Amino acid sequence: MILDKYPAVLQAVPGGKILLTTTDDFINLGRKYSIWPLTFGLACCAIEMMAAYASRFDFDRLGVIPRPSPRQADLMIIAGTFVKKMAAPVREIYHQMPEPRFVIAMGSCANCGGPFHDAYSVVKGVDKVIPVDVYIPGCPPRPEALIYGVMELQKKIMRMKLAKGGGATLQAEKGSRDPAGGA
Protein backbone atom coordinates (compact mmCIF):
# COMPACT_ATOMS: atom_id res chain seq x y z
CA MET A 1 0.00 0.00 0.00
CA ILE A 2 1.01 3.60 -0.58
CA LEU A 3 0.75 4.40 3.13
CA ASP A 4 3.32 1.73 4.07
CA LYS A 5 6.13 3.94 2.74
CA TYR A 6 4.44 7.24 3.36
CA PRO A 7 6.39 9.65 5.60
CA ALA A 8 3.72 10.15 8.17
CA VAL A 9 2.65 9.10 11.62
CA LEU A 10 -0.17 6.57 11.72
CA GLN A 11 -1.45 6.07 15.24
CA ALA A 12 -4.23 3.97 16.61
CA VAL A 13 -6.77 5.84 18.66
CA PRO A 14 -10.00 4.57 20.16
CA GLY A 15 -12.42 3.93 17.31
CA GLY A 16 -9.91 4.13 14.45
CA LYS A 17 -6.60 5.59 13.37
CA ILE A 18 -5.28 9.08 12.95
CA LEU A 19 -2.85 10.12 10.20
CA LEU A 20 -0.49 13.01 10.89
CA THR A 21 1.63 14.42 8.08
CA THR A 22 2.98 17.68 6.70
CA THR A 23 1.64 19.88 3.93
CA ASP A 24 4.78 19.18 1.90
CA ASP A 25 4.26 15.42 2.04
CA PHE A 26 0.57 15.70 1.27
CA ILE A 27 1.07 17.93 -1.78
CA ASN A 28 4.10 15.98 -2.98
CA LEU A 29 2.16 12.72 -2.85
CA GLY A 30 -0.50 14.23 -5.12
CA ARG A 31 2.12 15.53 -7.54
CA LYS A 32 4.00 12.23 -7.52
CA TYR A 33 1.01 10.24 -8.75
CA SER A 34 -0.30 12.77 -11.27
CA ILE A 35 2.64 13.51 -13.56
CA TRP A 36 1.19 14.71 -16.85
CA PRO A 37 3.71 14.82 -19.69
CA LEU A 38 3.30 16.97 -22.75
CA THR A 39 2.46 14.99 -25.90
CA PHE A 40 5.62 15.84 -27.72
CA GLY A 41 8.36 13.88 -29.50
CA LEU A 42 11.31 14.85 -31.66
CA ALA A 43 12.76 11.67 -33.25
CA CYS A 44 13.19 7.91 -32.88
CA CYS A 45 13.27 7.93 -29.05
CA ALA A 46 9.68 9.16 -29.21
CA ILE A 47 8.64 5.72 -30.55
CA GLU A 48 9.91 4.15 -27.33
CA MET A 49 8.10 6.83 -25.35
CA MET A 50 4.85 6.01 -27.19
CA ALA A 51 5.39 2.32 -26.42
CA ALA A 52 5.60 3.21 -22.71
CA TYR A 53 2.08 4.68 -22.95
CA ALA A 54 0.71 1.59 -24.72
CA SER A 55 -0.92 -1.42 -23.08
CA ARG A 56 2.19 -3.57 -22.54
CA PHE A 57 3.89 -1.02 -20.28
CA ASP A 58 0.84 1.01 -19.25
CA PHE A 59 2.22 4.28 -17.95
CA ASP A 60 -1.24 5.19 -16.62
CA ARG A 61 -0.76 2.93 -13.61
CA LEU A 62 1.83 5.43 -12.32
CA GLY A 63 -0.55 8.32 -12.95
CA VAL A 64 1.39 9.37 -16.05
CA ILE A 65 -1.23 10.60 -18.51
CA PRO A 66 -0.16 12.58 -21.61
CA ARG A 67 -1.73 15.97 -22.17
CA PRO A 68 -1.96 17.82 -25.49
CA SER A 69 -1.43 21.32 -24.08
CA PRO A 70 1.59 22.71 -22.21
CA ARG A 71 -0.81 24.55 -19.91
CA GLN A 72 -2.11 21.22 -18.62
CA ALA A 73 1.27 19.46 -18.46
CA ASP A 74 3.97 19.46 -15.79
CA LEU A 75 6.52 17.20 -17.50
CA MET A 76 8.34 17.65 -20.78
CA ILE A 77 10.06 14.52 -22.12
CA ILE A 78 12.69 15.46 -24.67
CA ALA A 79 12.62 12.29 -26.76
CA GLY A 80 14.80 12.62 -29.83
CA THR A 81 17.47 14.63 -31.58
CA PHE A 82 17.32 18.23 -30.40
CA VAL A 83 18.27 20.53 -33.28
CA LYS A 84 19.01 24.24 -32.98
CA LYS A 85 15.91 25.09 -34.98
CA MET A 86 13.79 23.58 -32.19
CA ALA A 87 15.53 25.42 -29.35
CA ALA A 88 13.34 28.53 -29.40
CA PRO A 89 9.98 26.67 -29.72
CA VAL A 90 10.94 24.21 -26.97
CA ARG A 91 11.98 27.05 -24.64
CA GLU A 92 8.70 28.83 -25.33
CA ILE A 93 6.64 25.68 -24.71
CA TYR A 94 8.60 25.07 -21.50
CA HIS A 95 7.71 28.51 -20.22
CA GLN A 96 4.03 27.93 -21.08
CA MET A 97 3.94 25.02 -18.64
CA PRO A 98 2.77 25.85 -15.10
CA GLU A 99 5.22 25.48 -12.22
CA PRO A 100 6.43 23.23 -10.78
CA ARG A 101 7.48 21.74 -14.12
CA PHE A 102 9.93 18.99 -14.85
CA VAL A 103 12.07 17.86 -17.77
CA ILE A 104 13.37 14.40 -18.66
CA ALA A 105 16.12 14.13 -21.29
CA MET A 106 15.46 10.77 -22.92
CA GLY A 107 18.29 9.19 -24.91
CA SER A 108 21.79 10.10 -26.00
CA CYS A 109 20.64 12.76 -28.44
CA ALA A 110 18.78 14.72 -25.78
CA ASN A 111 21.61 14.23 -23.28
CA CYS A 112 24.57 15.27 -25.41
CA GLY A 113 23.78 15.12 -29.14
CA GLY A 114 24.27 11.34 -29.33
CA PRO A 115 25.35 9.94 -32.69
CA PHE A 116 24.84 13.40 -34.22
CA HIS A 117 27.13 15.15 -31.75
CA ASP A 118 29.32 16.49 -34.55
CA ALA A 119 26.48 17.80 -36.68
CA TYR A 120 26.39 21.58 -37.09
CA SER A 121 22.63 21.65 -36.53
CA VAL A 122 22.40 19.63 -33.30
CA VAL A 123 22.36 21.07 -29.76
CA LYS A 124 24.86 19.17 -27.59
CA GLY A 125 22.36 18.49 -24.84
CA VAL A 126 18.94 19.93 -24.14
CA ASP A 127 20.20 21.24 -20.78
CA LYS A 128 21.88 24.04 -22.73
CA VAL A 129 18.39 25.43 -23.33
CA ILE A 130 16.13 24.30 -20.45
CA PRO A 131 16.89 22.78 -17.02
CA VAL A 132 16.79 18.99 -16.86
CA ASP A 133 15.71 16.90 -13.85
CA VAL A 134 16.46 13.36 -15.05
CA TYR A 135 18.79 12.08 -17.77
CA ILE A 136 18.14 8.66 -19.34
CA PRO A 137 21.04 7.12 -21.29
CA GLY A 138 20.69 4.86 -24.33
CA CYS A 139 20.12 4.95 -28.06
CA PRO A 140 17.25 4.44 -27.77
CA PRO A 141 16.38 3.78 -24.13
CA ARG A 142 13.71 1.11 -23.82
CA PRO A 143 10.30 1.96 -22.35
CA GLU A 144 11.39 0.35 -19.08
CA ALA A 145 14.22 2.89 -18.87
CA LEU A 146 11.76 5.76 -19.31
CA ILE A 147 9.54 4.28 -16.59
CA TYR A 148 12.59 4.05 -14.32
CA GLY A 149 13.39 7.69 -15.12
CA VAL A 150 9.87 8.75 -14.13
CA MET A 151 10.20 6.78 -10.89
CA GLU A 152 13.42 8.68 -10.16
CA LEU A 153 11.53 11.90 -10.83
CA GLN A 154 8.86 10.76 -8.38
CA LYS A 155 11.55 10.35 -5.71
CA LYS A 156 12.74 13.87 -6.47
CA ILE A 157 9.21 15.24 -6.21
CA MET A 158 8.86 13.70 -2.73
CA ARG A 159 11.86 15.79 -1.61
CA MET A 160 10.28 19.08 -2.72
CA LYS A 161 9.56 21.80 -0.17
CA LEU A 162 7.07 24.60 -0.31
CA ALA A 163 8.81 27.94 -0.46
CA LYS A 164 7.74 30.75 1.83
CA GLY A 165 5.87 32.36 -1.02
CA GLY A 166 3.82 29.21 -1.61
CA GLY A 167 5.69 27.98 -4.68
CA ALA A 168 7.60 24.73 -4.79
CA THR A 169 11.35 24.87 -4.91
CA LEU A 170 13.53 22.30 -6.52
CA GLN A 171 15.75 24.55 -8.56
CA ALA A 172 18.78 23.97 -6.36
CA GLU A 173 18.70 20.28 -7.22
CA LYS A 174 18.41 20.74 -10.96
CA GLY A 175 21.45 20.31 -13.13
CA SER A 176 20.39 23.39 -14.96
CA ARG A 177 22.06 26.11 -16.85
CA ASP A 178 20.45 29.41 -17.62
CA PRO A 179 17.02 28.48 -19.04
CA ALA A 180 16.88 31.80 -20.81
CA GLY A 181 20.24 31.24 -22.43
CA GLY A 182 20.81 30.44 -26.06
CA ALA A 183 21.54 27.07 -27.64
Q: How far is the CB of 109 from ligand SF4 (least distance, A)?
A: 3
Nearest Cα neighbor of 95 from 4, 17, 153, 180 is 180
Residues in touch with ligand SF4 (CB under 6 A): 43-45, 80-81, 107-109, 114-115, 139-140
Q: How far is the CB of 112 from ligand SF4 (least distance, A)?
A: 10
Q: How far is the CB of 31 from ligand SF4 (least distance, A)?
A: 28
Q: How far is the CB of 113 from ligand SF4 (least distance, A)?
A: 9
Q: How far is the CB of 106 from ligand SF4 (least distance, A)?
A: 7
Specify the residue, 30 or 115, whose C-beta has the smaller distance to ligand SF4. Answer: 115
Q: How far apart are CA 118 and CA 70, in angstroms?
A: 31
Specify the residue, 98 or 115, whose C-beta has the smaller distance to ligand SF4. Answer: 115
Q: Could you give the residue ranges of the DSSP H alpha helices within the chain?
A: 23-32, 45-53, 87-96, 108-112, 143-157
Q: How far apart are CA 79 and CA 48, in angstroms?
A: 9
Is 44 in a helix, a strand, or coil? coil
Specify the residue, 125 or 131, whose C-beta has the smaller distance to ligand SF4. Answer: 125
Nearest Cα neighbor of 94 from 182, 180, 5 is 180
Specify the residue, 75 or 146, whose C-beta has the smaller distance to ligand SF4. Answer: 146
Query: Residues in the chain, how many?
Result: 183
Q: How far apart are CA 182 and CA 105, in angstroms?
A: 18
Specify the residue, 29 or 46, whose C-beta has the smaller distance to ligand SF4. Answer: 46
* Cα 21–Cα 24–Cα 27 angle in degrees, nearest 5: 95
